[in-house]
Copies of this chain bind each other. A is one copy, B any other.
């Protein structure tokens, strides 16, 4: 019996990714292989495997013969990601409305409902729920390829890393409207709802960029 069925490279991938999203490794920081490998208790070989995977996900950038640095996402790139999300999540929710089980739909409600009653809203918890809300729709839309594309592209991760864009009170209402549209199996309202929801956040970021952060 194997202790862990993951090989070291995959394990390291998860741990380093976690270090990046939790900002233990900050954007722009150079990763010294031997150092990080020692810290993880492994050799450079599986660490390099991990870095290779992270590079494929654009979480890290490798400059030949110079090393790998944690990638940072510019505001322009965040806007680009929003456009990808609008397109892909539109497609995902269209499928989700048509094919998702009542259980999956129910889990969406359970995710968001608590925040309608508990005041004040715990921003940290809300952001997690927000993330999971979108993830649930994409994961359960029935298109596996789309979900993988989303995951491997870190469409959610990248945007999560900038924190809440708008006030929970504002987006909570939108989330509820989307859930209701799904529940009455209203495809166009659901698509419209999620796309406008994302568009609003995008517009706010765009505005902030123009005003110089």
Contacts and interface: CB of A to CB of B under 8 A. Distances in A.
Given A84-B146, A149-B153, A152-B152, A57 B56 contact: yes
A149 B149 contact: yes
For the complex formed by this chain, how many copies does it contain in all?
Answer: 2
A6 interface: yes
Contacts of A77: 144-145
A7 B80 contact: no
Interface string A145-178: 1101100110000000000000000000000000
Interface residues of A, number: 34
Interface of A: 5-7, 9-10, 45, 48-49, 52-53, 56-58, 64-65, 77, 80-81, 83-84, 86-88, 90-91, 95, 143-146, 148-149, 152-153
